[in-house]
Amino acid sequence: MPEPSLEPSAEPSGETPPVMEATNAVRLAEAGGVSGFARAPEPLDAAARVEVRNLSERVLEDSPPSRGPGEGNDSPEGRNQDVKVASANSLKDLDVASARDVSELRASRSSGPPELTASAVSTTDAADGVKDPPMGRTGAAPVLALPPEAGAPSHAFGEEGRFAFLARAGEVLSSSLDEPTVLRQLADLVVPGLADWCVVDLITPAGTVVRRAAAHRDPSLVPDAYAIAERWPLQVGGPTGVPHVLGTGQPYLLPDVPEAYVQAAVARGDGRLAEAWRLGCRSVMLVPLEARGRVLGCLSLMRGTSARRYGEQDLALAHELARRAALSLDNAALYGEARQAQARTARLQAVTAALSRAATEDAVAQVLAREVWEASGATRVAVLALEEDGGLRPLRLLGYSEDALARFLRPQDEDAFPRMLQDCRREAWWFSSQEEFLRQHPQAAGFARSQGPGARAVVPLWGETRVQGLLLLAWPEARAFSPSERSFLEALAHQCAQALERAALYEALRERTERLRQALVTGDMGTWRVDLGRAKETRDAALNHMLGLPAVDSSSAVGDFLSRLHAEDRPYVEAEFHRYQRQPPCFFELEFRVVRRDGGVRWLHSVGQSFPGPDGKVAYLTGAMADITRRKEAEERLQLLLDASRVLALRLDDVEQTLPEVAKLVANHVATGCRVDLASPDGTLRRVTAAHRASAHDARWKDTPSDRESGPTQPALQCFASGEVCFLSHLDAQRGDALSVHVDGVSPTSVLAVPLRARGRVLGVITLFTAVPQRALVAADVTMVEELALRIGVALENARLFHDAQSAVRLRDEFLSVASHELKTPLTSLILQHNLIGRALEVAGASGLVTGRLTTAQRQVLRLTALVDNLLDVSRLSLGKLALERTEVDLAQLTRDAVERLEEVFAQSRCPVRVDLPRTLTGQWDALRLDQVLVNLLTNAAKYGAGHPVSVRAGTGAEGEAWLEVRDEGIGIDAAALPRLFGRFERAVSDRHYGGMGLGLYISRQIVEALGGRIDVDSQPGQGATFTLRLPRHAAPDTQSRPPQDS
């Protein structure tokens, strides 16, 4: 019969569930290595089938409901469930085992291996009579003693003994899901049967090593095992011993521990081995506890002086035992995580319920701090709220001193926590130690050192939109944070953040409700409700007061309020009201007028909302109304001033023509009637216009003679005489007030007369009156009319100044025209005399000096003649007397002649001229005036060309128009000067460096526009200027004889 191997059987990829491993080990061990496992399966008998079913059901009872196919679950509960279900399924697979195998299993369990002593057999038999404990049940594991023969090797007990040992170990280790119980059972399993001394060291989540279990043949020496671990702490990674096993996951065998080896370890400063030697350690096996590809810890087995030494088969047995123990530990960890997850879920549910009852941020912070304190084991907890300025405000502190913490929470501090928030998004910060905290956030070194060593966690309270604050936790010692612990604390923080947002919304709602209540009282607003189901509308006392009704709450049939609307607004409001009833619930607002019981008109602003009933249709509408009459009146006054200013600006030369429209605006928007009287040269008032809201009264009221309104009580005359506002706010005919019975039987209720002033002079009076049903004038109307009177006075004064300016310009132009004509006569005579003198000098053969001076005199006379001609043209343009004589003109030839005449001018300015002209370019133009334009453009190019070339081009445009371009490359023109370049007496350069009167381009533009064309300029400083002349070749009918106009 071949010996069964100690190596684990081949398994598919992935981890075998721990209970399945134990079950398979039991099947293999109890079979005793019989080759029957290779035979074809035979049906189980009834007893075996019942035994398998009972074991399977006990496993399933402790497992939560299974998931459906394809449902994944990475949580601890899900993994634990997978383990249990898979284990139960593997037990059910025993149905396919043969009946002969089952009988052999029972026989091997009843007889036991031949190497076992009587005590071992009795223990096994006793255990065989007890049912397997269910999953999760704890208790002391039975001792499986394998007393060796003196001096015999450990592998002398045979393969069956080792299989039975492993089977029993699997059974014992799988009987509990509690980690301390599993470790205690593991230590008790091997002492004293497999070792005199056993210790179990585990790797913590923080990466440290702790001694979790120890057992010794002499129980009094167990504390020494823990003392060794405390005095010489272990670490992961090292050349030999436990650190090497923990770091590499490889087993370690030292059959004999020589004394020299111990002394060498002591020399290196490692006292662990010396202490173990003192306690009797002479042979050592170290095997890793490894599950799911990671090392959980190390199982150390040691024998004393009288026991046999360990060998390779012992190491293989220990390694297999460690593998089963590691799977049990991993299963216990998964179960613990599942229990923790259940506890955390229950706690989260309790927190959710508590937070739902917390209506303030203080209550929310209290719940969060208490729950985190109890669940995390932290010694200090702080709940901090984020302020608008970036600072942090403590809401709840447990273990922290508010005074010590406050100085680190100000946003201006360089060492403050608010600056760390700049790096915070949705993730939390976890620091296993103070060193890690300082390494990641050195800017918060002051805070970290002030709080002492230990682990830290900073969890942002992230709500739906932003960070609400921070949750700060501290532990006194270094530690690691598991993913489940992080998720739990982050979930608590998120719930708290949402609760803080709800608390803020609740507080905002409370404040808003209070402000609304105060606004309703302060702003004299009223509320209303329309119940469509009961066809009933209700109004509070304030709204009834606005309507001129008794100031008490009232209810009436639907439509009562609509009947009080102004006739002009009723159709619109009714249509909107019915639309809101038909459409889905919504928010709405309206502005409209109502007519009070006393006949007065008030403006109301209504805001409301419609709400649905059970059937989804609008069931009722509710809202509030405010009296906005004053606001509307102010808007009307402002609009009136804007409209009046616009009307007054239409005719600056004759304001009196616009005053009737202004008076009509006032009568229609502010008063019942308005009239304007202006001062006559003889000091009396002259009626200019009068307007009535009813247009039929306009003419009769305007024609009323002023002498019928004489006397000191007349407001207009009194205002004109005193220059002060005359305001009669309340007039009553029954009391016999003056002016209570006015023109055409109109009974005014208020009268206002305001003087029209300008430069300290009273130019006239504007008078307003109101009559029923219009409201009486108030102080705000007085202010508005005073502003209107000021604008009318300024307009009247500007019109007077405009007429004076026009007269002055007319006189100037007439003077220029007369002066130019008077100057032309002597200049013409002087030119003739110069010509005669020149001929005489030629005959007499005069010297060159005399001839040169005569030439200079002639040139200056010609310049003076050009200036006089320009002044004469300006006067003609201003007076509209510049006539055009259109003939057939060749623009190309006219340009050549002008360039030829100005050759000397271009030569003096050192500007060469390039001409690119067609052979002919004819059109209907005035040759003399067009030549004047060409000369102006060419002389400008020569004057400002700065010695650079001047180009002259001409041609025909796309629409048949003629164009001519004069371009220089001189100093150019600044962009700010271009819009005013063609103005009268305008210059783009300083007259210190360039002479001239600024008339040439002005005259040129007037001539070109008179010919129906246009002249444009394109220039930049330092890049020259280009003047483009465009002329229609045939005169338009409306420009055939039209003189140019002064622009």
For 518-528, how does the pLDDT look when each residue is reduced to its tens digit (9 = 90+)?
Answer: 777 777 788 89
Residues 437, 417 contacting (CB under 8 angstroms): no
Cα distance between residue 349 and residue 1030, in whole Å: 88
Q: Decide if pLDDT at 457 tops 80.
A: yes
Q: One-letter amino acid identity for 914?
A: R
Reduced to 3 states, what is the DSSP secondary structure of residue 212?
strand
User: Are the C-beta atoms of residues 905 and 939 closer than 8 Å to each other?
Assistant: yes
* CATH of span 358-510: 3.30.450.40
Query: Rounded to the nearest 10 degrees, what angle do helices 118-128 and 99-111 cross at?
Result: 130
Per-residue pLDDT band for 44 (boundaries 50, 70, 90) equals very low
Query: Per-residue pLDDT tens for 794-820?
Result: 999 888 888 888 888 777 777 766 777
167 closest CA partner among 124, 107, 133, 131: 124
User: Roughly how many angstroms between the first and final C-alpha of the chain, as a whole number?
Assistant: 129
List the alpha helices (DSSP H) in 112-158.
118-128
DSSP state of 745: G
In this predicted structure, what is the pLDDT of residue 955? 93
- What is the SS3 assignment for 952? strand
Q: Classify residue 370 as exposed, middle or buried by CB count within 10 Å of its CB (0-12, 13-18, 19+).
A: middle
Mean pLDDT of the 833-839 span: 82
Bin 622: left if φ > 0, else alpha if -120 < ψ < 50, else beta.
beta
Nearest CA among 901, 880, 935, 923 for reference residue 1030: 923
Domain with CATH 3.30.565.10 in the chain: 883-1039
% of residues, the chain, pLDDT over 70: 75
CB contact at 8 A, 899 and 907: no
Cis peptide before 705 (omega within 30 of 0): no
Q: How confident is the model at residue 552 (pLDDT cuts 50, 70, 90)?
A: confident
Per the CB < 8 A criterion, the answer to whether 277 and 262 are in contact is: yes
The pLDDT score that the predictor gives to residue 973 is 86
| Stretch 703-716: mean pLDDT | 55
Q: Which pLDDT score, from 0 to 100, does residue 405 have?
A: 75
Backbone angles phi, psi at 408, to 5 degrees: -95, 0
User: Residue 507 and residue 499: Cα distance in Å, rounded?
Assistant: 12
Q: 593 by DSSP, 3-state: which?
A: strand
Q: What is the largest CA-CA distance in the chain?
A: 172
Q: How many CB atoms lie within 10 A of CB 815?
A: 11
Confidence of residue 161 (pLDDT cuts 50, 70, 90): confident
Homologous superfamily of 523-627 = PAS domain (3.30.450.20)
Q: Looking at the domain 18-338, which fold is it?
A: Beta-Lactamase (3.30.450)
Q: What is the pLDDT of residue 958?
A: 77
What's the average model confidence in pLDDT over 1003-1032? Answer: 89
Angle at 334 between CA 227 and CA 29, to 5 degrees: 85
Contact 735, 755 (CB under 8 A): no
Checking if the pLDDT of 510 tops 90, the result is: no
Q: What is the mean pLDDT of residues 281-310?
A: 86
3-class secondary-structure state, position 835: helix
Query: Residue 318 and residue 323: Cα distance in Å, rounded?
Result: 9
Q: Does domain 628-881 match CATH 3.30.450.40?
A: yes
What is d(CA 677, CA 668) in angstroms, rounded to the nearest whole number? 19
Task: Quickly list H helices, 441-591.
Answer: 445-450, 483-522, 541-546, 570-582
Residue 68 pLDDT greater than 50, yes or no: no
In this prediction, residue 72 has a pLDDT band, given cuts at 50, 70 and 90, of very low
Q: Is the pLDDT of residue 160 over 90?
A: no
DSSP 294-337: EEEEEEEEEE-SSSPPP-HHHHHHHHHHHHHHHHHHHHHHHHHH
Pairing mode, strands 913-916 and 950-956: parallel
Share of the chain above pLDDT 90, in %: 13
The conformation of residue 255, written as its DSSP 8-state character, comes to: S
Count how many Cα atoms sit within 13 Å of the Cα of residue 367 in the half-sphere of its side chain. Answer: 24
What's the pLDDT score for residue 699? 57
d(CA 228, CA 786): 104
835 pLDDT band (50/70/90 cuts)?
Answer: confident
Contact 310, 317 (CB under 8 A): no
Mean of per-residue pLDDT scores for the chain: 75
Q: Which of 252-266, 575-589, 728-742, 1002-1016 has the lowest mean pLDDT?
A: 728-742
- Do the beta carbons of residue 675 and residue 709 sit within 8 Å? no
Higher pLDDT, 403 or 1018: 1018
CATH number of 883-1039: 3.30.565.10
Pinpoint the residues of the chain covered by CATH 3.30.450.40. 18-338, 358-510, 628-881
Point out which residues pair with 770 in neighbouring strands: 750
Least confident of 84-98, 594-608, 871-885, 886-900: 84-98
Spatial neighbors of 522 by CB under 8 A, at least 6 apart, are: none
Quick check: 952 pLDDT over 90?
A: yes
pLDDT of amino acid 821: 65
Residue 579 CB contacts under 8 Å (≥ 6 apart), including other chains: none
Q: Above 80 in pLDDT, residue 1041? A: no
Give the model's confidence band at 364: pLDDT under 50 very low, under 70 low, under 90 confident, else very high.
confident
Q: How many residues does the chain have?
A: 1047
Q: How confident is the model at residue 124 (pLDDT cuts 50, 70, 90)?
A: very low
Phi then psi for residue 798, to 5 deg, are -65, -35
**Alpha carbon distance 789, 752 (integer Å):** 12
Closest C-alpha to 753, from 714, 706, 802, 702: 714
Residue 986 CA from chain centroid, whole number: 54
DSSP label of 957: -
Cite the DSSP H helix spans in 407-482.
434-440, 445-450
* C-alpha to C-alpha distance for 124 and 30, rounded to whole angstroms: 12
CA 692 → CA 367, 600, 666, 697, 768, distances in Å? 74, 20, 9, 6, 10
Q: What pLDDT is stored for residue 118 in this prediction?
A: 28
Stretch 147-159: mean pLDDT? 43
pLDDT at 407: 67
Lowest mean pLDDT among 21-30, 443-452, 554-563, 669-678: 21-30
DSSP 10-66: P--SSPPPHHHHHHHHHHHHHHTT-GGGGSPP----HHHHHHHHHHHHHHHHTSPPP
Across 820-841, average pLDDT: 78
pLDDT of residue 6: 33
Top mean-pLDDT range of 112-121, 176-185, 246-255, 479-488: 246-255
Q: Which residues contact 446 (CB under 8 A, 6 or more apart)?
A: 408, 415
Asked if residue 754 lies in contact with residue 719, where contact means CB atoms within 8 angstroms, the answer is yes
Containing 528, the helix (H) or strand (E) segment is: strand 526-531
Residue 323 above 60 pLDDT?
A: yes
Own/partner long-range contacts of 594-601 (Cβ < 8 Å, ≥24 apart): 594/546, 594/547, 594/564, 594/565, 594/566, 595/564, 595/565, 595/566, 596/546, 596/547, 596/548, 597/547, 597/548, 597/549, 598/548, 599/772, 599/773, 600/548, 600/773, 600/775, 601/566, 601/629, 601/773, 601/775
Confidence (pLDDT) at 844:
80
**Top mean-pLDDT range of 149-153, 689-693, 992-996:** 689-693
User: What's the pLDDT band for 676 if we cut at 50, 70, 90?
Assistant: very high
Rounded-to-integer distance, Cα 982 and Cα 1014, Å: 12
Q: Which of 175-189, 551-565, 916-930 has the highest mean pLDDT?
A: 916-930
